[in-house]
Structure 1
Amino acid sequence: MQHDAIHEPARSTPVRAEYDVLVVGGGPAGLTSALAAAEDGLRVGLVENRSFVGGNMTIGLPVLGFLGQKGNQIIEGLPQKFIDRLKARGGASEHRPCPLHMGITLVEPEAVKTVALDMLLEAGVDVTFYTACVGVVMNEAGDTIRGIITEGKDGRSAILAKIVIDCTGDADVAYRAGVPCEKGDEHGGMQPPTLMFCIAGVDTDKLRNSIAVQPRTYLTDFIPAEYFGQNHQFIVVGLRELIAKAREERGLEIPNERTIIITGLRSGEVWINMTRVKGVDGTDSRSLSMGEIEARHQIDDIFTYLKAYVPGFENAYFTKTAPFLGIRETRRIVGDYVMNQDDVLSCRYFNEAIAVASYPIDIHRPGDDGCTLIWCGDCYDIPYRSLLPKKVEQLIVAGRAISTTHEAMGAIRVMATCMAMGEAAGRAAKLAIREDVSPRQINVKALQEDLRAHGAYLRTPLSQA
């Protein structure tokens, strides 16, 4: 007999903690949100369902977005302070110009976990790991969030707060609170996730010199061959002909039309961004499980291809996979303003800007093995209204789940931008509590002044220039 549902008995859920500000999610946005909110001595809690903080900074990806399309640094403040702490222990590179990604900042995943936690604890943030958000606590009218329901090894409990910041990346809190959300493109298709993996024993000098000296054999996308002759740490994107040759000669199943190789900070270590599982919904556990299983199956043929066809990989050996799938896209809230493609491509100024971004619209297309890239030529603002969800008060959203279209999300989803949004969200929450108003009612000019006072970069609106 198959059951469609069961009925759980009503229960009394204990309140485990109460904070001024509760940050849900400890990735790039959550880290800076909590640090910003805690600066003035507020009681700040951070809940993370994994055993570490850092999110996508811990899966082998470089941090993209610190530099603009004109080569200037456009994200500073707390994100830069975090990179400085990493560099002090050899866990981060300089911000390196890149013709394709504008700028890349290499980080060591294990150093990220340690430094991020150290900074949170030093700031007095109360960090709770191994805890999932499974529900929300609302007021009687259902229009104001009061906290979240959590589930962990010790069972079910509630955490209350004056303001909640959703940094889950998937709008988990906002969705459960009744905020209208969207997913994917006009057909619901979402960018496919990737399971990063690490290879050691790679002769990266042979790789880069092969590209620099034989550009007709080793063609790269957008990045000129001379770039590789000048840089010991780099990203390779391309080598499409080699993939086609491997498919034809060996029948290898490679789910990506581009080879994507990222050098690590350690000599001979590279991270591979080539697994690709179409049709995965990152808000569905069964779908995520399927994606994880399929991505692991894809690694063998990709590794075989690299060793057999890509120079420098002849003596390479597999070392590890990332701790979780890298999710590019899931839910997006519908907020007070929906940021769109025109805002990005027109380099739009907003009077209520809380961050500046420059990363191009970068969409790993849901329906095939390709990618769409569109550059705006300079920078664009992210407006505060896009962090404010419709229908629910005392809630701020930061990170890739802010209020955007599918296309604009493809631009603002990178980690440095998410960190800048996180800092703004944390400072906005702090101001709202100090002034005893809702986040929607704060003086945005005061927020901008606070951001600038702490080193954040904001452009001057054209009307004031």
Structure 2
Amino acid sequence: MKNTTVNTITEPAREIPVRKETDVLVIGGGPSGIMAALAAAEDGLDVTLIESRSFVGGNLTIGLPILGFLGQKGNQIIKGLPQKLIDRLKAVQASSEHRPCPLHMSLTLVEPEAVKTVALQMLTEAKVDVLFYAFCAGVVKEGDELKGVIIESKAGREVMLAKTIIDCSGDADVAYRAGVPCEYGNEQGGVQPPTLMFCLGGVDTEKLRTSVAEEPRTYLTDFIPAEYFGQNNQFVLVGMRNLVKKAQEDGLTLTTERTILITGLRKGEVWVNMTRVNGVNGTDPGSLSHGEIEGRNQIHDIQEYLIKYVPGFENAYFLKTAPFLGIRETRRIEGQYTMTREDIMSCRHFDDAIAVASYPLDIHHPQGGGCTLEWCGDCYDIPYRSLIPQQVKNLIVAGRCISTTHEAMSAIRVMAPCMAMGEAAGRAAKMAIREGVQPADIDVKKLQEELREKGAYLRQGVREKV
């Protein structure tokens, strides 16, 4: 090796072995990646899924409810393969119904550990080749066409060649390394802060909900009326700002303005969504490490706050932290179309719609502990063109890193829309291979027909070409 500057070295050229050639390669085993792999494998294509952790599920495994299966008018707008996963989870008592929520439109509670098992079962039944413990470390390109992905693992660097590649990494890892133009954060480069979820046991959730229902002036919640808690045994609670302020005045360090709690499926369990670490770059290991350390440091005072100030937590005890930080935002690709705030708020129809979403603009401020929410009143479409990157062929992107603005991303980032995007991406990849065309050149009308035939929901009516 030869030193070129003080801060770099030159790595010698070397041959990298090809581990496998596959039809469809999916990078990332989170909500969108699971659906993409299942959809692509449906009629016998060889599909490989690469996941850096030891399990699939991504943010489905960190204690969050799934948001967005229902629209703002109460109708179910995410169906198809995502619903099949919920049905499988229900069969083992690991999922709730889709529950209407005045704040989040809907929430679907799932058991994180069960997701890991059930989703993997579905993938193996579909004959998807799942490879754990491997990272995307680079790409193989010929001109502007992506041919494969370089992975890094305990076995060293290897190549996975594929006819079509789907980037479900959440961070646009493949797209970024392939040279797709990407954006990061807002106009100042600020991103929504991540959260390290944690779970408490021994919580009297009945006391919690009845206290909110019967004493709303004391336990005021954001946007969610007190009657909601009188009618629902399982719920999300957001608010109690006055209690947070009182605890801060009493000397506790709390980095968010609101109490955010999610009841678990198991009796007495509550997941807590209150750690916030501003300034974390989810694509940098040093910054992520800082986020993990700081997030764990924040748990002590949050737990003390809940036990001392919030009804039902008097006998609560610590159970577990999530296996990793919940990242809300990193890179976003520049695609053939960039979704905007106006698309969300105007409930825009698109001629090439491949999914329907209804979750509001939900921006956790890059600085401070505040949050901004805005609802559009109904649903909006996600266009196929936002999944197709500029400048690089043979690549589809699904999940929160599709082509959007910072504000629009805050709406489409939750898990139900990401799963719907994943299903569409998988079916598009399969179609591109079967028809011998680039993903950008498939007949989107045929894709829409297949999505509907397989149970996905797409809106009828006049669409506009944007």
One-letter code aligned to 2:173: D
Counterparts in 2 of 1:287-326, with a 5 A limit? 287-326=287-326
Match in the other structure for 1:247: 248
Gaps of 5+ in 2: none
Match of 1:76 among 74, 79, 87: 79
1:403 aligns with 2:403: yes
Tell me which residue corresponds to 1:116: 119
What letter is aligned with 2:58? Answer: G
Aligned to 1:205: 206
Distance change >3 Å, CA 264–CA 218, structure 1 → 2: same
What is the CA–CA distance in structure 2 between the aligned matches of 1:4 and 1:283, rounded to whole Å? Answer: 20
Does structure 2 conserve the Cα–Cα contact (< 8 Å) formed by 1:351 and 1:461? Answer: no
Q: Is residue 350–residue 461 contact of structure 1 (8 Å, CA) maintained in 2? A: no
Amino acid at match of 1:35: L
**Given the superposition, is the C-alpha separation of residues 11 and 363 from structure 1 closer, same or farther in structure 2, using an over 3 Å criterion?**
same
Amino acid paired to 1:273: N
1:52-451, aligned counterparts within 5 Å? 52-139=55-142, 141=143, 143-249=144-250, 251-451=251-451
Once the 2 structures are TM-superposed, how far is the Cα of residue 463 of structure 1 from its aligned partner?
5.0
Alignment match, 1:21: 24
* Distance across 1 between alignment mates of 2:461 and 2:150: 41
Choose which of 8, 12, 15 in structure 2 pairs with 1:5: 8
Among the aligned pairs, what percent are the same residue?
A: 71
CA contact (8 A) 1:192 1:280 kept: yes
TM-score normalized with structure 1 length: 0.98
Q: Give the AA of the match of 1:160.
A: L
Distance 2:463 2:164 in 1: 33
Which aligned segments of 4 or more residues in structure 1 are displaced greater than 6 angstroms? none
- Rounded to whole Å, the distance in 1 between the matches of 2:68 and 2:148 is 32
Q: For the Cα contact (< 8 Å) 1:71–1:97, is it kept in 2?
A: yes
Quote how far apart the aligned CAs of 1:461 are. Answer: 3.5
Contact 2:222 2:239 in 1 (8 A): yes
CA deviation after TM superposition for structure 1 residue 248, in Å:
1.2
Task: Measure the CA separation in 2 of the matches of 1:21 and 1:131.
Answer: 17
Number of aligned residues: 461
1:75 and 1:268 map into 2 onto residues whose CA distance is 30
Secondary structure of residue in 2 paired with 1:314: coil
Decide whether the 8 Å contact of 2:350 with 2:463 is kept in 1.
no
Other structure's SS at 1:254 match: coil
Question: 1:3: Cα distance to partner?
Answer: 3.5
Rounded Cα–Cα distance in structure 1 between residues aligned with 2:460 and 2:146: 34
- C-alpha displacement of 1:121: 0.2
Task: Return the offset for 1:201.
Answer: 0.1
- Looking at structure 1, the residues matched to 383 and 93 of structure 2 have their Cα atoms a distance apart, in angstroms, of 34
For residues 347-373 of structure 1, give each alpha carbon's deviation from its aligned partner in whole angstroms, at most 9, with x where no partner exists. 000010000000000000101110010
C-alpha distance after superposition, 1:78-132 (max 9, x if no partner) = 0000000000001100000000000000000000000000000000100000001
| Contact map agreement 1:340 1:407 (CA 8 A) in 2 | yes
**Whole-angstrom distance in 2 between the partners of 1:286 and 1:327:** 15
- Could you report, residue by residue, the CA deviation over 1:18-74 in whole angstroms, capped at 9, with x for unpaired residues? 111000000000000000000010000000000000000000000001000000000
Which of the numbers 33, 51, 54 marks the counterpart of 1:51? 54
**Comparing 455-464 with 351-360, which one deviates more in the overlay?**
455-464
**CA–CA distance in structure 1, aligned partners of residues 201 and 44 of structure 2:** 44
Q: Distance in 1 between matches of 2:460 and 2:22?
A: 35
What is the CA deviation profile of residues 414-443 of structure 1, one whole-angstrom value per residue up to 9, with x for unaligned ones? 000000000000000000000000001100
- Whether the 8 Å contact between 2:35 and 2:423 is mirrored in structure 1 is yes
CA displacement, residues 183-215 of structure 1 (integer Å, 9 cap, x when unaligned): 101100000000000000000000000000000
Please give the secondary structure, in 2, of the residue aligned with 1:402. coil
Aligned residue for 1:178, secondary structure, equals: coil
The answer to whether the Cα contact below 8 Å between 2:349 and 2:463 also exists between their aligned partners in 1 is no
CA RMSD of aligned residues (A): 1.0
Q: Which amino acid aligns with 1:147?
A: G
How many angstroms apart in 1 are the aligned matches of 2:289 and 2:146? 31
Task: Tell me how far apart the structure 1 counterparts of residues 461 and 397 of structure 2 sit (CA, whole Å).
Answer: 24
SS in 2 for 1:462: coil
Amino acid at match of 1:366: P
What corresponds to 2:37 in structure 1? Answer: 34
Cα contact 2:335–2:389 (8 A) shared by 1: yes
- Are the equivalent residues in 2 in contact too, given 1:31–1:54 (CA < 8 A)? yes
Q: Quick check: 2:238–2:261 contact (8 Å CA) kept in 1?
A: yes
